[in-house]
Amino acid sequence: MKKPKVGDIFRWSWNAETLKKYEDKKSAGTLYWCCSRICVFEDDGKLWDTYWSSCKSENKRFTLEDAEERLELTYVGNFNDLTEAKRGDRAYYEDKYCVDISHPNMSRGGFYLRKGATKSLDKMRRIMKRNIKKLQYDADHAQRMVNEMEKELDNLSIDSYLPTTKNVALTDDSYEDSDT
């Protein structure tokens, strides 16, 4: 492994040899416990897993020798070559320009664009078509539900199952029924 530069980002996993040693953790579901599986090379000469952003856990840091011996690393990029962006910006840029290092323990941020990235009309068209398809599906689904409920309303009895729809008030004083 060539020596990384400060700010280099890698995705990591245990290599095959290390996995054999950790077989008991694998079956217990703790193989990657409290790990983002994303590490950054820092100025102390070590690779740090990004799961704990404020207090770095000693057992989730790797010297270059540790990494060589125990890990599989995939280079992602270097922070100097990235610009922080909003996750929704991904809709404008081809995936090759997007770097997402967010993980479940990261409350915000973690999405970057490679410097020099330009918006892509092709990507924007693909996303717009997906939006249209999703809205059409939702509208069709809603119409089917309306038809079903209208049939059920005709046969409503005290023993009927009454579905509750999100954002529909269940108290009489919070919703005026215009049909009555």
- Low-confidence stretches of the chain (pLDDT beneath 70): 24-28, 53-59, 173-180
Q: How far apart are CA 175 and CA 115, in angstroms?
A: 52
Please check whether residue 25 is in contact with residue 17, taking contact to mean a CB–CB distance below 8 angstroms. no
Please check whether residue 9 is in contact with residue 76, taking contact to mean a CB–CB distance below 8 angstroms. yes
Q: How far apart are CA 160 and CA 144, in angstroms?
A: 19
Q: How far apart are CA 180 and CA 178, in angstroms?
A: 6
Please check whether residue 102 is in contact with residue 111, taking contact to mean a CB–CB distance below 8 angstroms. yes
Q: How far apart are CA 155 and CA 78, in angstroms?
A: 64
**pLDDT score at 41:** 95
Q: How far apart are CA 52 and CA 175, in angstroms?
A: 47
Residue 118 DSSP SS3: coil
Q: Quick: pLDDT tens for 64-90.
A: 999 999 999 999 999 999 999 999 999
**pLDDT score at 180:** 46
**pLDDT score at 139:** 98
**pLDDT score at 26:** 66
Please check whether residue 101 is in contact with residue 112, taking contact to mean a CB–CB distance below 8 angstroms. yes
Residue 169 DSSP SS3: coil
Taking residue 14's Cβ as centre, other Cβ atoms within 10 Å add up to: 19
